[in-house]
Amino acid sequence: MGVGRNVISAALGLVVLLGAGGVLAQSGAPSEGDISRSLMPKSRGLPTLGDLPPAPANPAIAPAATGPAPAHVGHARRAAAVVASQPADAHPSATLRTIQFEFGSAQLTAGSIGTLKNLGNALNHELAAQAHFVIEGHTDAYGEQGYNEQLSAARAEAVKDYLVKEMGVAEGRLQAVGKGSTAPVPGTSPYSALNRRVVVVNTEG
């Protein structure tokens, strides 16, 4: 009984954190490596003889349409923190649910700093050769469309500003875009909390 209650409490806590725009508290920020792998181009270097075996599944990265994966082993708790959203013909992208903002504003929360630092380090290290990234702000469909677009743009700009000013990422590599509620997560209601998110896209990948 006690174990069941703990599982239910943890799940409810996860839902509340997702509603605030991300998952950081118990789930932990996605690592620099997790972010780099999500945003790395699909093919690199010269062709090789034969096909390489697929990389082992990373429990920290899951298709966005399925929602956060259950956190039942090791670092799988980061599953809701980095969500890859990459159809076969799409640019590499990652939804970072641990980037959160104060309610109704573009003020980053203190709990977002770990993810922002790891994102900045990934851009400066493993992804240094990649020339251009778009930072997308997204909202759910509650509220007036124009307001949501302005808020999402301001939040994307806040992420860009942090990466440039605090992490030293070249400003010319980053573009902030506000999507408002125009691009909900596939398979979710436009009003779902999962739609309040920041997505980073490698447009060169």
DSSP 190: T
Which residues share a beta bridge with 128?
Answer: none
In this model, does residue 123 exceed pLDDT 70? yes
Q: Tell me, what's the pLDDT at 28?
A: 82
Instruction: State the residue for tokens 């447009």.
Output: 203
Which residue did the predictor score with more confidence, 11 or 200? 200
Average pLDDT over residues 117-138: 97
Residue 69's pLDDT band (cuts 50, 70, 90): very low
Sign of CA dihedral 112, 109, 192, 138: negative
Averaged pLDDT, 96-104: 94
- pLDDT computed for residue 205 by the predictor: 78
Q: Please tell me the chain's helix, strand, coil percentages from 3-state DSSP, rounded to the nearest 5.
A: 40, 15, 45
Work out the average pLDDT over 36-61. 59
pLDDT in tens, 128-161: 999 999 999 999 999 999 999 999 999 999 999 9
Band (114; pLDDT cuts 50, 70, 90): very high
Percent of the chain with pLDDT over 70: 64
Strand-by-strand arrangement of the 174-180 sheet: 82-84, 93-96, 197-202, 133-138, 174-180
